[in-house]
Structure 1
Amino acid sequence: MEIADMFSTTTIPFSGITLEQVVLAVIIAVIGLIAVKVIASAFTEMLGRTSRLSALIIELLVRFFSILLYVILVLIVLATLGFDVSSVVLGLSAVIGLILGFGLQDTVTNLASGVWVAAFRPLDKGEYVEVNGISGTVTSVGILATELLKPDNTYITIPNSQVWGSAVINSTRMDTRRLEVKVGVAYDSDLTLAIRVATDLMKNDERVLPSPEPVVVVTELADSSVNLSLRAWTKTADLWGAQWDLNREIVNAFADAGIAIPFPQMDVHLDGTH
């Protein structure tokens, strides 16, 4: 009983907070942190099971919900310590309003942009995209920023306002993609033969889809060569491998067929009259 009286009467210097309040606040904080994680996990599972929302929207809602729970927990802990929570809420509201008015317009813009990105889904987790000239795989769309992982394992964070306010090039959203391999042949080459060799090369690649059919088109009569473009459709996952292989194999195929791939060249004619 004496120990209980000691906890209830002993105060922390200059604060008026008793040891009993501190212990109770610590207990509430620990239990509250566990409860927040459990509730957030249950909320995530419920949204995933009962709604048709995208993963991005679910993640955004869970983050908002978790922040709200943490704020409530902090207020409960403060109330346990004897603080006037109503005055704290009013004070925080005034401070937040002041900050928003003077310095956090960008934060509010990023927050609103994050909602629009999650709702309209120009990009999604696991997709390979290009935003503002930066390419990478989407790992997360947060409340304020979108995170990309580049092929060289560089981690990029882009403010949501830049994502929503820019053109987003999504390379993996569609099931199929068209590859293009460009090559030039000499002007004295058999153009019909070159087109047939290039077409057969694409058709013999198992990754090239039969429909739409692969085609070879003449794209330019350049200074040193007749430029061809090999165009074929593949599954999106096969695109880069097929394109890299065709770039390599077209060189050997043309060499075997006696078709020259010329170097850039310039003919200089000298006038002997001067």
Structure 2
Amino acid sequence: MGFDIGAPLPYIGFSVIQIIWFAVIIVVGFVLVKYLIVPLMRKSMKKTKLPEILIEFMVRVTAIFLYILVFLLSLTALGYDMSAIVIGLSAILGLMLGFGLQDTITNMASGFWIALTRPFDKGEVVSAQGLTGKIVGIGIMSTKMLTPDNVVITIPNKIIWGSPMINYTRMNIRRVDVNVGVAYGTNLDKAVKIAMDMMKKHELVLDDPEPSVAITELADSSINLQLRAWTKTDDYWTVKGDLTKQIYETYGKKKIEIPFPQMDVHLKKE
């Protein structure tokens, strides 16, 4: 008596042919999605004017949807009714939402709005919730940023979407502020002129907007000045470092004192 590959196997209830078709649909479906459909979708969307971060988000969402669809189709090979499966999954999803998946849905919705409104793009440097870094990717559930010391931070999308955010690199130019204190009794006109001349000579400082120097505070030990120079965003840290070093050296050469914090103590003899 021959073996019937169409007959249900003991204890399993599925035939060999059903199991084969299930495996074929799973393997072929996943391979097609991962190596054909998703790359083609990504390539075609990159030809549009959509931002990269939005493209990546849409590709990931579509890929997950397709994987789920492949899995559902593979279950039909085992004899399950697709409509019953969908209804069952809907019921399970409803129960899961009631037992704590609200955060998951919120993160997904937040990721969608982040990708759509673009408060930041891939490669930009932002600060949110006290965390600062370069955006390296936005996913369905979370956003990843890379800190200056090469640490990857993963932040749930709902936290980013619901918090104030600072984008340091969205604009083409930024203002560099360098604070310095000079001693009381200093000729302020001379100190300001020296700082202005120094900034104007720096090759990375822009002429428009023009640099300026502001007297910001009469502090306990010094009169505080703030050098304000505009530069291209990519040159921000270079200019800040240069101006900080140069103002210290230049004031030293010009005999402009940068005082240490000091306190006068008066002893009263009784």
What interval of TM-score do these two structures reach, taking the shorter chain for normalisation? over 0.9
- The sequence identity of aligned pairs, in percent, is 47
1:100-119 pair list within 5 angstroms? 100-119=97-116
CA distance in 1, matches of 2:264, 2:4: 99
Alignment counterpart, residue 82 of structure 1, candidates 64, 75, 79: 79
Distance 1:148 1:7, change over 3 A: farther
Which segment is superposed worse, 92-101 or 177-186? 92-101
Contact 1:7/1:20 (<8 A) preserved? no
CA distance in 2, matches of 1:137, 1:154: 10
Superimposed CA distance per residue, residues 21-54 of structure 1 (whole angstroms, 9 cap, x where no aligned partner): 22232222222112112112212222222x4322
Aligned residues: 269
Question: Is it true that 1:20 corresponds to 2:17 in the alignment?
Answer: yes
Distance 1:249 1:6, change over 3 A: farther
Two-structure CA RMSD over aligned residues (Å): 1.7
The code of the aligned residue for 2:221 comes to S
Alignment counterpart, residue 192 of structure 1, candidates 182, 189, 192: 189
The code of the aligned residue for 2:86 comes to V
Question: Is it true that 1:121 corresponds to 2:103 in the alignment?
Answer: no
Which segment is superposed worse, 207-216 or 173-182? 207-216
State the TM-score, normalized to the length of structure 2: 0.94
Alignment counterpart, residue 70 of structure 1, candidates 64, 67, 72: 67
CA distance in 2, matches of 1:114, 1:29: 28
CA distance in 2, matches of 1:148, 1:43: 25
Report runs of 4+ in structure 1 exceeding 6 Å deviation. Answer: none
1:1-274 pair list within 5 angstroms? 6=3, 8-9=5-6, 11-37=8-34, 38-49=36-47, 51-272=48-269, 274=270
- State the SS of the aligned residue for 1:8: coil
State the TM-score, normalized to the length of structure 1: 0.92
- State the SS of the aligned residue for 2:5: helix
CA distance in 1, matches of 2:181, 2:84: 76
Structure 1, unpaired ranges of 5+: none
Contact 1:129/1:168 (<8 A) preserved? yes
CA distance in 2, matches of 1:30, 1:144: 26
CA distance in 2, matches of 1:146, 1:9: 48
CA distance in 2, matches of 1:207, 1:118: 34
Superimposed CA distance per residue, residues 143-192 of structure 1 (whole angstroms, 9 cap, x where no aligned partner): 11111111111111111111111111000000000000000011122222
CA distance in 2, matches of 1:228, 1:61: 49
Superimposed CA distance per residue, residues 169-221 of structure 1 (whole angstroms, 9 cap, x where no aligned partner): 00000000000000001112222221121111111111100111111111111
